[in-house]
Amino acid sequence: MRYRELGRTGWKVSEVSFGAWAIGSAWGRVDDNESMAALNRAIDLGVNFIDTADVYGAGHSERLVARLKKERRETIYVATKAGRRLSPHTADGYNRQNLRTFIEDSLRNLETDCLDLLQLHCPPIEVYYQPEVFGALDDLAKEGKIRYYGVSVEKVEEALKAIEFPGVQTIQLIFNMFRTRPAELFFPEAQRRRVGILARVPLASGMLAGKMTSQSAFEADDHRNYNRHGEKFDVGETFSGVDFETALAAVEELRAIVPAGATLAQLALRWILMFEAVTCAIPGAKRPSQAEDNARASDLPPLTEVQMAKAREVYDTYIRKLVHQRW
């Protein structure tokens, strides 16, 4: 496993880290023993950073991470999120009092007295124009409730606005072979300001693992069933916003550039790591075998110019017109 500096935090985090949404909720049936085994396997292989949120199974994901931290002696940085418990999810809900309540609940779930990294969870656009929200986070940091804070965003423009606030240490956004626009304007600006970048949905919800077919079916409580068209949350979070059949066709073309002995999932992760502005990819994993497959992507040699050019060509041919100007 290789490590990268996370913004100005002084932390060195595993370039392939762990996304803990699926072990909490919204991805069909999961087994806590398997989830714990997946987390443990990741730590065995050098992963030291986990992304979770208060809403992933109403604290369940956070509680599994707390269990992991009790079982392991290694340093494990935990990023969680706040805001999505608001219903309705409105900008005025991102006030000092609610943020404190959400943070106190996460502190309890994670069994700690200070959160390593607290991210606003894809807040409404107005929040980026309310400096008092970021002021409240500065105060919570001074108070010792949170060590650092960042923002999980939907759009490049939100990322650019968020990093104008000097306290923002990290931006989490979708970046993968089906979502390349962040590399154009945002990455150079984030590097200039030394802001860490967490690349989420790196496997386009498992699509880029290359295991799906037009017959693939998903359980009723899996967002790949119920959010195909953005029925519950931003459609970009499900298969990266690419329609299923187009995604399958693009994946078929990508098989040609999978490095010898590697998996398609590893190609997808290694592609992300080719961008030095990215601190880490945070693939979700429900089983130890997935955690292992993903962590080992860090050991692959850099992709060649030919592989990168083919990935670009597939994006330009299949994906660009569907997503490029949407997020």
Query: In 22-44, which positions are buried (b, 16+ CB within 10 angstroms) versus exposed (e)?
Result: bbbbbbeebeeebbbbbbbbbbe
Considering only residues 16, 20, 45, 311, which one is a binding residue for ligand NAP as defined by CB under 6 A? 20
Among the listed ranges 125-133, 249-257, 289-297, 308-316, the one in contact with ligand NAP (CB under 6 A) is 289-297
Mapped onto helix, strand or coil, the DSSP state of residue 315 is helix
Give the pair of three-digit tokens for residue 275. Answer: 């961008």
Measured CA to CA, the distance from residue 80 to residue 20 in angstroms comes to: 10
Give the pair of three-digit tokens for residue 138. Answer: 């500065």
> 16: buried, middle or exposed (CB in 10 Å: 19+, 13-18, 0-12)?
buried
- Check binding of 283 to ligand NAP (CB under 6 A): yes
**Are the CB atoms for 134 and 165 separated by under 8 Å?**
yes
- Check binding of 49 to ligand NAP (CB under 6 A): no
Give the pair of three-digit tokens for residue 104. Answer: 């106190």
Among the listed ranges 3-11, 40-48, 250-258, 276-284, the one in contact with ligand NAP (CB under 6 A) is 276-284
- Check binding of 60 to ligand NAP (CB under 6 A): no
- Check binding of 250 to ligand NAP (CB under 6 A): no
To ligand NAP, the closest distance from the beta carbon of 176 in angstroms equals: 7
**Are the CB atoms for 137 and 146 separated by under 8 Å?**
yes
Q: Which residue is nearest to ligand NAP (CB)?
A: 19
- Check binding of 295 to ligand NAP (CB under 6 A): no
To ligand NAP, the closest distance from the beta carbon of 198 in angstroms equals: 8
Mapped onto helix, strand or coil, the DSSP state of residue 278 is coil
- Check binding of 282 to ligand NAP (CB under 6 A): yes
Among the listed ranges 1-9, 123-131, 285-293, 299-307, the one in contact with ligand NAP (CB under 6 A) is 285-293
To ligand NAP, the closest distance from the beta carbon of 205 in angstroms equals: 5
- Check binding of 241 to ligand NAP (CB under 6 A): no
What residue spans of the chain are helical by DSSP H? Answer: 32-44, 60-71, 96-109, 131-142, 156-162, 186-192, 223-226, 244-254, 264-273, 288-295, 305-314, 320-323
- Check binding of 237 to ligand NAP (CB under 6 A): yes
Measured CA to CA, the distance from residue 236 to residue 154 in angstroms comes to: 8
Scan residues 96-155 and list those touching ligand NAP (CB under 6 A).
121-122, 152
Q: With respect to ligand NAP, which residue has the nearer C-beta, 172 or 279?
A: 172
- Check binding of 15 to ligand NAP (CB under 6 A): no
- Check binding of 78 to ligand NAP (CB under 6 A): no
Measured CA to CA in angstroms, residue 182 lies from 3, 44, 98, 150, 272 at distances of: 21, 31, 30, 17, 11
- Check binding of 172 to ligand NAP (CB under 6 A): yes
Which amino acid type is present at position 93?
G
Considering only residues 41, 85, 179, 200, which one is a binding residue for ligand NAP as defined by CB under 6 A? 200
Q: With respect to ligand NAP, which residue has the nearer C-beta, 192 or 216?
A: 216
- Check binding of 284 to ligand NAP (CB under 6 A): yes
Measured CA to CA, the distance from residue 305 to residue 13 in angstroms comes to: 27
The residues that touch ligand NAP, with contacts defined as CB under 6 A, are 19-22, 27, 51, 81, 121-122, 152, 172, 200-206, 209, 211, 237, 265, 282-286, 290, 293-294
